Structure 1
Amino acid sequence: MSKRLITPEDLLQLRSVTSPALSNDGEHVVYVETTLHEEKDTYAAELVMTSPHNPDQNQYLTHGGYINKLPRWSPVGEALAFISNRTGTNQLYTLSSWGEPKQLTEEKKGVNDFRWSPDGKTIAYSSTQYPEEEKENDKPEPLVVNKMKYKSDASGFWQGEYVHIFTVEIESGKHTQLTDGAISYTLLDWTADSEQLVISSVNEENTDFIFSNDLLLLSVEKKEFIQLTNQTHVISDASASPDGRYLAVRAHERDYENATHFEIYLLEIATNEWTKLTGDWDVQLGPVVAADFLQNTVDPGLVWSGDSRSMTFLVSEQGTVGLYKLTTDGKKEAILTGHAHVYGFSILADGSSLVAGINHVAHPGDLYLIQSGEERKRLTTSNDDVLDELEVVQAEEIRFQQEEGHELQGWLMKPAGFNEKETYPLIVEIHGGPHAMYANSYMHEFQTLTARGFAVLFINPRGSLGYGQEFVNAVRGDYGGGDYRDIMAALDYVLKQYSWIDESRLGVTGGSYGGFMTNWIVGHTNRFKAAVTQRSISNWTSFYGVSDIGYYFTEWQIQADLNDTDKLWKHSPLAYVNQIETPLLILHGEKDYRCPIEQAEQLYIALKRREKTTTFIRFPEANHELSRSGKPSLRLKRLDAIGKWFEQYL
């Protein structure tokens, strides 16, 4: 049977299978299955339970088309807790005996995250709180701004809200607020005795120039803090050992600002003695893949073994995300590696069973059971019926030595229906960040382009994570320099190696930093016959003041501020607008606070004023996450616009 070509609309048929949670006895796995709802133009995420021993018997634990996420088993018994928006806001629920879920919270602004206590009697959760009641009227209110960090691409304008920590007792339903005041807290874990919470915070009211956070222990009974750090680290995760002796902490000391690799530290609670366990390991600890398909993924963080001798976690390196174990004396062991993207896992305390979510370029992802001495066992087949109908394109890995002395890694995808006797146009894709990583991971955008007859080249230029600290830091202060040369070197390499690529029909596209680089490329070469820039940066001088991260990101990355506008302008693609001859499609979300739409407006007007070939598409209500989690209808229109632009000019 001949297979059909992938279309943008196939996003509506494919299912994202994520967030596996393995029960304590290893008999059940609960996971999140996310789909796009065309009629409601939204997403639905249901909890599904399967058995590692009989994966054909799936049971949907939730229904109704809401977002149900973060399934977590009680450490004691068979109760399951999760977050759902079925009442309109994210609230905490428990489920036992697979009956109806029981709602535990009624927070006005919902629940952000939660953790079971080790004794299974209590759940700690975090919730956004406002210092005073909001005014409920239809009249617009002015926003009074007194801080620099006053807006966020994720949450909009700051209006006095802070995140606080609560507990709820499972049996009595009693709620207790543990923190208050004009400080936000992040919930990380419980200590082994169920008496203290591990949290992080910035113990300052004015955080405009503070980018580290502190690690704290919070007594649940007394509501008293023990401060373990003093603004020395950026802390992304901490988990307590089952024996109560240690905290495993993933953190860094901002040696290279936001380009700094995380390390794993062992903190002895009794003495507050810190030991760095990963000082000789030059990799990125945690998942950092640039992708557009998976929904409701969760980084499990540092997961302790039951004997408190080791921890398991995800590692990004060399275009893959794998699973590693690290002992308390610093010995590393690869558990699950290979040419794939491990995007989540759940492991039994004794390490005998592991369930992992794995995908690769030609497969959106499924859950697999891994047991000692046994072959990997596939537990889900959520997309098999759709994939059986589609021509899904694999990718060929490329590696080559750049003339400047470092190795580059990338992937080349041939067009669907490839015929070696024909020649084909090529599109170069550039990821955002710039501190992210393309991986052997499914990208629906890439598949839709190959279905239209384009080859796709995607690489990790300097600045990308996964290739060592020196490599990721090399882009800072040099945007449009070595990173640009890396991308062009990759293009030259594939043109030399693959004669079927038509050098006269080249396209380029990317979003965020990838949009910046697209703008930069068309201002510095006419090799490309078409380009699509997405949620891009065109002018660092204005970006400094309008982005939610503008003033500090610009200082960290361009290494200049408004006292050095010459350097800001030198690295701004808008400065080279007179040299742009490539037909350029500009895509941008109107609610993008990360790279505000004025960046696109400036570029568009400058091009039109010079009578250059360009079109500007504005996506209403869309923020910086349009391509990944925007409204389904807009995501489809975006993919269609990209494909049609390249078809028109290539």
Structure 2
Amino acid sequence: MNSHKRALTSNDITKLEIFSDPQFSPDGKAFTFVSTTINEQNDYQSQLLYQKMDTSATTPWTFGADSNSHLRFSPDGKKAVFQSTRSGLPQLWLINTDGGEAQQLTTFKHGATSPTWSKDGKSILFHTSLENDDDIHNQKELSSEEKQKIKETKSKQPLIVNRLKYKSDAKGFHDTTNTQIIRMNVDDWSLEQLTYADTDHFFQDVSPDGRQILFAANLNKNADRELSNDLYLLDTVTKEITNLTEGKGSYHQASFSPDGAKIAYFGHEFAYKSATLTELYVFDLHTSKQTCLTTDWDMQLGDAMIGDTRLGDSTTGPTWHKDGRHLFFIATSYGATALYQINLKGKYQTLYHKDNHVFGFTYNSVNDKLILGISTPINPGDFYLLNEDATLTQLTNGNEVLLNEIAFGEPESLKINTQDNWEVQGWLLRPYGFTEGKKYPMILEIHGGPHAMYGQTFFFELQLLAAKGYIVLYTNPRGSYGYGQKFVDACRMDYGGGDYQDVMEAVNYAVHTYSFIDENRLGVTGGSYGGFMTNWIVGHTNRFKAAVTQRSISNWLSFYGVSDIGFFFTEWEHGLNLLDDPAKLWEISPLKYAADVETPLLILHGEKDFRCPIEQGEQWYITLKHLEKEVEFIRFPEASHELSRSGKPEMRIERLNHICRWFEKYI
């Protein structure tokens, strides 16, 4: 670690520039991407940047304090459509790629998102939210005054709930709208609604001839009680809808082959419930046969890396090669994500795999080139051209000033062999200004999920704790992605068992291996499932001097009924629902062991967290406080489960400051 650079502070999170969504221009001579920053009003803003391949200079295509994203070039490259909040809600805008002012295309009441061009450039497909009786030809975005009036009216009315899935952490309480797919004719800007069912429809792709639309949805009568997500073909002439996957699983990221004869997509059939590895399928439209290309693999497809600064969407695959016989995609393995290519017989090759995080890519069929988005533990992310020899040519340097000013730590990789013969991967960050011969306190970090993965990506919270003088230990205990199906499934029906053993053995390994760790000054923290594990730990050992539990689970009995996923997640992860065996759910609830807690505990929770609702934190706090334990409760107004990743910037900073304050006080 460079001692000439300064230490990271919590306020530095406002100085980061986060890149996402790279998109090649059709001729392959340039690309665009999204840059997300925090502005002077302490809010997020996203701009579209353009860069030619033969230069490192970028040209802003949008300005101001709005969110601009999802730019897609017309097939001839002369125009581009994107979504922007400059009118209030996200709406579609059109810009000439040779310059000029953007033209607003939509004024939908609930906004318009995710635009895609047809292959002939004659139409644009997009999403909007509609009531069942809405007329798309009579849509007008509401003024601020109109929105406020509706808000006041709703505040005086009860919320009538008659569905099982009536809320979600992403949307809050659901309304009576559904996501529908709209087609816009570019010649006269006329609109056509393509889907009408009383459910959400998610556009996937349009066929090369423009006649068929591919979308994902659940059109079954029992959709409110199901978690399946099928792929459907819509014939835009006959309006006939064909189900391709027949309710067997959940499928997404589907796309037509260049000749339109096949469809590639990710998905799985819930063989291991929420711990099921994603597979890659190809559907042949001539034979109606579905083929799984990855049957013999033991790898999670897509990007399962967890972090706290990755704002914005990026393509992770599957993406067709121009020959129609190969596909590109990202997969997750051993603390890293990499880019792969596979043929239609299931034979794959690694195109790029280093000890880092490939978070997205874009492919151009004209020059047969790939641009990768890559993050490392000391760089939030930049774009690179992948050369034929698998080397990289750096295209951007988004955080150059900050990276030259601040010292970020490179983690040391660990492998811990547990007593029951599991191998657990982990990392250890040394503190800022590390000096040989000196003892340092250590913080154990536990990720959420549990089916996710720590790895070689930029993680602000971990770097901040190291900057504050702590050794930081973080691991992927059993239940994590990246180590095969058996490993990711190993914590189901065993919460607080093998997973608890893994993290504690990792602590033992670290303190016995590194003489600079002060084993009498240990802390622990984690969020969501990591919050559950933090709660479980303080109820089962006094080894830690302080703990911070974030958006946690304390009581599986109530979680079943209050979480937006509780009614199925409880059965998926524990093998039973509330009425099946409440005594067993109580046995694995940290709340049961509150009397045994002696570790000073800080509870952090968002007041609008619908994934792990704040009543979980309330129960935990009141019980511990009533027992006269050393505990404090911080409630974050308007914050969802995503507080640490995409919450309001000032609340993210407050959260980080409270974590550091608690550890400083008690360790």
Q: Fold conserved (TM > 0.5)?
A: yes
CA contact (8 A) 1:237 1:250 kept: yes
1:262 Cα deviation after fit: 1.1
Deviations 1:506-538 (A, max 9, x none): 000000000000000110100000000000000
What is the 5 A alignment of 1:84-99?
Answer: 84-96=84-96, 97-99=98-100
Deviation sequence 1:6-26 (CA, Å, 0-9, x none): 001111111001111111222
Q: 1:351 to 1:283 in 2, by over 3 A?
A: farther
Mean Cα deviation higher: 85-94 or 613-622:
85-94
- How many angstroms apart in 2 are the aligned matches of 1:471 and 1:494? 22
Deviation at 1:215, TM superposition (A): 1.3
Matched, 1:49 2:66: no
The answer for the alignment partner of 1:555 in structure 2 is: 571
Structure 2 residue aligned with 1:570: 587
Which residue is 2:634 aligned to? 617
Per-residue deviation, residues 231-273 of structure 1 (Å, max 9, x unmatched) = 1121122111001111112111110111111111111012211
Whole-angstrom CA distance in 1 between matches of 2:532 and 2:224: 26
Q: What is the TM-score with the length of structure 1 in the denominator?
A: 0.97
1:188–1:239 contact (8 Å) kept in structure 2: yes
Which residue is 2:31 aligned to?
A: 29
Show the counterpart of 2:140.
Answer: none
1:601-633 deviation line (CA, Å, top 9, x unaligned): 000001111111011000000000000000000
| Structure 1 segment 390-401 matched on structure 2, within 5 A | 390-401=406-417
For the 8 Å contact 2:72–2:115, the answer to whether it is kept is no
CA contact (8 A) 1:359 1:366 kept: yes
What whole-Å deviation, never above 9, does each CA across 1:181-203 have from its counterpart, x for those lacking one?
Answer: 31221111111211111111111
Say if 2:132 and 2:196, in contact at 8 Å, map to a contact too. no
1:138 to 152, 158, 164: 152
Residue 289 (structure 1) shift: 1.2
Q: Is the aligned partner of 1:597 residue 2:605?
A: no
1:424 aligns with 2:440: yes
Q: How far apart in 2 are the matches of 1:374 and 1:441? A: 20
Compute the RMSD of aligned alpha carbons.
Answer: 1.5
1:233 partnered with 2:278: no
Structure 2 residue aligned with 1:19: 21
Q: Using the TM superposition, give the Cα deviation of residue 341 of structure 1 relative to its aligned residue in structure 2, in angstroms.
A: 0.2
8 Å contact from structure 1 (residues 305, 350) kept in 2: no
Cα offset, 1:374, TM superposition:
7.3
User: In structure 1, what is the Cα distance between the partners aligned to 2:36 and 2:77?
Assistant: 27
Q: Does 1:470 align with 2:486?
A: yes
Residue type at the aligned position of 1:192: P
Q: Does 1:221 align with 2:222?
A: no
Measure, in 2, the Cα distance between the counterparts of 1:371 and 1:25: 18
User: SS at 1:575's partner residue?
Assistant: helix
Q: CA deviation at 1:461?
A: 0.5
Give the letter aligned to residue 387 of structure 1. L
Bigger Cα displacement from structure 2, 609-618 vs 72-81: 72-81
1-side partners of 2:435 and 2:387: how far apart? 42
Looking at structure 2, the residues matched to 536 and 75 of structure 1 have their Cα atoms a distance apart, in angstroms, of: 47
Return the alpha-carbon distance in structure 1 between the equivalents of residues 315 and 77 of structure 2.
24
Shift of 1:228: 1.4
Amino acid at match of 2:495: Y
Counterpart amino acid of residue 75 in structure 2: P
Q: What SS does structure 2 have at the residue aligned with 1:282? A: coil
The 3-state SS of whatever aligns with 1:505 is strand
The residue number in structure 2 matching 1:75 is 75
Q: Unpaired runs of 5+ in structure 2? A: 135-146
* 1:438 pairs with one of 450, 454, 468: 454
Q: Look up the equivalent residue of 1:112 and give its one-letter code.
A: T
One of 532, 547, 552 as aligned partner of 2:548: 532
Written as runs of structure 1 = structure 2, the 5 A alignment for 1:504-515 is 504-515=520-531
1:33/1:48 contact within 8 Å kept: yes
Matching residue of 2:10 = 8
Once residues 282 and 609 of structure 1 are traced to their aligned partners in structure 2, the CA distance between those partners, rounded to angstroms, is 48
Alignment check: 8 A CA contact 2:27 2:366 kept:
no
**1:315 CA drift (Å):** 0.4
Contact 2:119 2:206 (8 Å CA) reproduced: yes
Per mean C-alpha deviation after superposition, the further-off stretch among 385-394 and 617-626 is 385-394
**Structure 1 residue 86: Cα displacement:** 1.0
1:259-408 equivalences under 5 Å are 259-349=275-365, 352-373=368-389, 375-408=391-424
Report the secondary structure of 2:583's partner residue: helix
Residue type at the aligned position of 2:122: K
Percent of matched pairs sharing the same residue: 45
Q: Structure 1 CA distance, aligned partners of 2:151 and 2:416? A: 62
- The answer on 1:646 being equivalent to 2:647 is no
What letter corresponds to residue 111 of structure 1 in structure 2?
A
**Residue equivalent to 2:125:** 124
Give the whole-Å Cα distance in 2 for the aligned partners of 1:604 and 1:375: 52
Deviation at 1:94, TM superposition (A): 2.2
Residue 560 (structure 1) shift: 2.0
Question: Partners in 1 of 2:90 and 2:236 — Cα distance?
Answer: 24
Q: 1:475 to 1:112 in 2, by over 3 A?
A: farther
Q: TM-score, normalised by structure 2?
A: 0.95
The answer (yes or no) to whether the contact 2:25–2:77 under 8 Å persists in 1 is no
CA contact (8 A) 2:92 2:113 kept: no
Which residue number corresponds to residue 585 of structure 1? 602
Matching residue's letter, 1:649: Y
Cα distance in 1 between the residues matched to 2:18 and 2:279: 30
* Residues 577 and 606 in structure 1, CA contact (< 8 A), matched pair in contact too: yes
After superposing the two structures, state which structure 1 stretch, 209-218 or 148-157, moved more.
Answer: 209-218
Q: Distance in 1 between matches of 2:99 and 2:236?
A: 30
Taking the aligned partners of 2:305 and 2:103, their CA distance within structure 1 comes to: 35
Alignment of 1:238-253 (within 5 A): 238-253=254-269
Kindly state the Cα deviation for residue 41 of structure 1 after the two structures are TM-superposed.
Answer: 2.6
Q: Report the number of matched residues.
A: 648
Matched residues in 2 for 1:214 and 1:389: separation?
A: 49
Distance 2:315 2:511 in 1: 38
> Is the 8 Å Cα contact of residues 26 and 366 (structure 2) preserved in structure 1?
no
Alpha-carbon distance, 1:383 to partner: 0.7
Deviation, 1:431, is 0.6
- Equivalence for 1:165: 181
Determine if contact 2:409/2:431 at 8 Å carries over to the other structure. Answer: yes
Larger displacement relative to structure 2 (107-116 or 414-423): 107-116
Query: 507-516 vs 87-96, which deviates more?
Result: 87-96
Q: Secondary structure at the match of 2:224?
A: coil
What residue is the counterpart of 1:628 in the other structure? 645
Deviation at 1:132, TM superposition (A): 5.5
Partner Cα separation in structure 2 for residue 550 and residue 74 of structure 1: 43
Within 1, Cα distance between the matches of 2:617 and 2:69?
Answer: 35
| CA–CA distance in structure 2, aligned partners of residues 243 and 416 of structure 1 | 55
Alpha carbons 1:287, 1:299 under 8 Å: kept: no
Separation in structure 2 between the aligned mates of residue 222 and residue 77 of structure 1, nearest angstrom? 31
Q: Secondary structure at the match of 1:388?
A: helix
The Cα of 1:556 is off from its aligned counterpart by: 0.7
Distance 2:367 2:510 in 1: 43
Determine if contact 1:589/1:626 at 8 Å carries over to the other structure: yes
Report if aligned partners of 1:14, 1:35 keep a CA contact under 8 Å in 2: yes
Runs of 5+ consecutive residues of structure 1 not aligned to the other structure: none
Residue 325 of structure 1: how far off its partner (Å): 0.7
* Inter-partner Cα distance in structure 2 for 1:373 and 1:104: 43
> Residues 549 and 601 of structure 2 are in contact (CA less than 8 Å); yes or no, is this contact kept in structure 1?
yes
Opposite residue 125 of structure 1, the aligned amino acid is: F
Over 3 Å counting, the alpha-carbon distance change for 1:65 and 1:544 in structure 2 is same
Query: Quick one: distance in 1 between partners of 2:391 and 2:567?
Result: 51
Q: Flag the 1:229–1:89 CA change in 2: closer, same or farther, 3 A.
A: same
User: Any idea what SS the aligned residue of 2:530 has?
Assistant: helix
Q: Relative to 1, partners in 2 of residues 1:374 and 1:216: Cα closer, same or farther, differing over 3 Å?
A: closer
CA contact (8 A) 1:320 1:339 kept: yes
